[in-house]
Amino acid sequence: MSSTNNRVVRTETALGAEAQLAARARQVLRQNDMGDWTRAAPNLYPHQWSWDSAFIAIGLAHLGTRRAAKELLTLFEHQWRTGKVPHIVFNPEAPPDSYFPGPEHWACAAASPDAPPAPPYTSCLCQPPAHAIAALRVWEVAERKGGEGVDEARAFLRQIYPKLLLWHRYLMTHRDPEGSGLVTIYHPWESGTDNSPRWDAALEAVEVGDLPPYPRYDLRHVANPSERPTRADYDRYLWLVKLIKKAGCDEESIYRSHPFLVKDVLFSAIVVAANEALLEIAALVGAEAGDHTLIANWIARGHQGLNSLWDPELGLSLDYDLRAGRPLRARTVAGFAPLVAGRQSTERLETLITALESSAFTGHPWLRWPVPPSTSPLQEGFRRRSYWRGPTWPVVNWLLWWSLLRAGQSERAQRLRQASLQQLVIGGLGEYFDPFTGELLGANDQSWTAAVALDWLATQGCGALRRTATLLQPGRYETIRNGTSDPLGSVRTA
Ligand code: 9WN
């Protein structure tokens, strides 16, 4: 066969694989859809998680503006009076022994004067605020598609804008009483990267008291317990929850007495990027000039804070333990926080990219795909199958891809997108993957993985969203064959 023919066959195979992946991703989101919100995963996570819903909305945007908007609006119905968006909204229909700690464990949170009406119950923790980024993406996708979705998206932005502003205000005040531009977290669950070595030193200092026996329902849903946090990790997680409950979920009391108070560098960077998105939304909805100034100041403060946590030796940013008064030295993907925050100097950007592509991350010789392990294989405490201690997470790849695009690094972004899609074509729509073998780990049919796959598939190599959602409709590939996409850059089934 001539090389031209070879090229055509490979392209078609790639498109076939992409189309199958898109169909599978749609199926996962449909299967996990609860009407107005989406379960994070069918068995392991039967509730609504905060930052999962943000990424899910990004995927849903390609399937319909109204449902994507609803995902976020439903979550924000449970926003606390302080502005906090809870990390979990519990599904009242989930069986009682499906997830621990479940709603009964958090029922006390409902007693707080700041809590929303219950049921449904919510946790009193929060997670990184990817929501404004998602809301803007819903708008962008609708605008590019045209039609009635544009008005729906505009109405949605008007509805969500004040809620997003309140949420960001909460983070910039209650979670940053120092005015440092950096967000304080009270629990590793708030970081979204729960058992990452980022938290090892700070957790070591937490002395666990008496805890009643508790179940580990999570272990029923993974192939091997090594994929989930250990018993010792869980003891600490539950002890910290107990202390937060004892403080009545009151921010000031927690701040005074809590043993785990950490400035989370990735969370803080997501706040900066989310504030940039919020600034754009403010312009789209015609917000008052005062809002623009406020948000711009938050962005400036965020950059200052992040600069203070830069470690020149590692070429990464580090979290900061407020209790111990020292940085938490660990080489993890969170170190790329400045890339996520955006607007870095050329020198800083080059250093970050060098670190990203070094043997500490995507350049490690044993990797199955050049996608960043959550923890560097060179970091003490790296475990390739254990949750946030090594596996690769598609949602993190999405965040870095999106950040590289914003930084003008479209070729690098495209390589990351390709490798991430390849991983999903071969490995499935899992929660996380062994970085060396590509094996699916954690939950099957993870909603946010399906969502970011849909977003990648709808996005051209150069980063622009595809004008038509052709790929998302099986059987209609004409537009792509005619060269509006980058066919050889597509997923290849090796
Ligand atoms: C605790 C839902 C969530 C994600 C987190 C991920 C994991 C929960 C758990 O699952 O955390 O919040 O029980 O392990 O770490 O990022 O939001 O997908």
Beta bridge partners of 272: none
Q: What is the pLDDT of residue 8?
A: 55
Nearest CA to ligand 1 atom 18: 40
| Distance in angstroms (rounded) separating the CA atoms of residues 472 and 15 | 11
267 lines ligand 1 (CB under 6 A): no
| Distance in angstroms (rounded) separating the CA atoms of residues 197 and 388 | 8
Instruction: Kindly list the catalytic residues.
Output: 194, 431
Q: Is 14:494 a contact under the CB 8 Å cutoff?
A: no
49 lines ligand 1 (CB under 6 A): yes
170 lines ligand 1 (CB under 6 A): no
161 lines ligand 1 (CB under 6 A): no
Query: Quick one: three-class SS letters along 90-156?
Result: CCCCCCCCCCCCCHHHHHHHHHCCCCCCCCCCECCCCCCCCHHHHHHHHHHHHHHHCCCHHHHHHHH
> Which atom of ligand 1 is found nearest the CA of 431?
18
Q: Is 45:39 a contact under the CB 8 Å cutoff?
A: yes
Is the link from the previous residue into 101 a cis peptide, with omega within 30 of 0? yes
Residue 222, both tokens? 């993974």
Nearest CA to ligand 1 atom 12: 189
| Distance in angstroms (rounded) separating the CA atoms of residues 279 and 149 | 22
> Which atom of ligand 1 is found nearest the CA of 443?
18
40 lines ligand 1 (CB under 6 A): yes
Pocket test for ligand 1, best of 56, 87, 194 (most atoms within 8 A of CB): 194
Q: Is 188:199 a contact under the CB 8 Å cutoff?
A: yes
> Which atom of ligand 1 is found nearest the CA of 448?
18
| Distance in angstroms (rounded) separating the CA atoms of residues 149 and 151 | 6
Centre of ligand 1 to C-alpha 387, Å, is 10
310 lines ligand 1 (CB under 6 A): no
Centre of ligand 1 to C-alpha 234, Å, is 13
Q: What are the phi and psi torsion angles at 33 (to 5°)?
A: -75, 125
Q: What are the phi and psi torsion angles at 88 (to 5°)?
A: -135, 135
Q: Is 236:308 a contact under the CB 8 Å cutoff?
A: no
Say how many CA atoms lie within 13 Å of 389 toward its Cβ. 17
| Distance in angstroms (rounded) separating the CA atoms of residues 462 and 398 | 15
- Segment 254-293, tens digit of pLDDT: 999 999 999 999 999 999 999 999 999 999 999 999 999 9
Q: What is the pLDDT of residue 110?
A: 81
| Torsion sign across C-alpha atoms 267, 273, 277, 283 | positive
Q: Is 196:334 a contact under the CB 8 Å cutoff?
A: yes
Q: What is the pLDDT of residue 12?
A: 60
| Distance in angstroms (rounded) separating the CA atoms of residues 494 and 482 | 23
Q: What is the pLDDT along the chain (494 residues), one digit of tens a residue?
A: 444 455 555 566 677 899 999 999 999 999 999 999 999 999 999 999 999 999 999 999 999 999 999 999 999 999 999 999 999 999 999 998 999 999 999 987 788 999 999 999 999 999 999 999 999 999 999 999 999 899 999 999 999 999 999 999 999 999 999 999 999 999 999 999 999 999 999 999 999 999 999 999 999 999 999 999 999 999 999 999 999 999 999 999 999 999 999 999 999 999 999 999 999 999 999 999 999 999 999 999 999 999 999 999 999 999 999 999 999 999 999 999 999 999 999 999 999 999 999 999 999 999 999 999 999 999 999 999 999 999 999 999 999 999 999 999 999 999 999 999 999 999 999 999 999 999 999 999 999 999 999 999 999 755 666 543 334 333 222 222 222 232 222 322 22
Secondary structure (3-state) at 459: strand
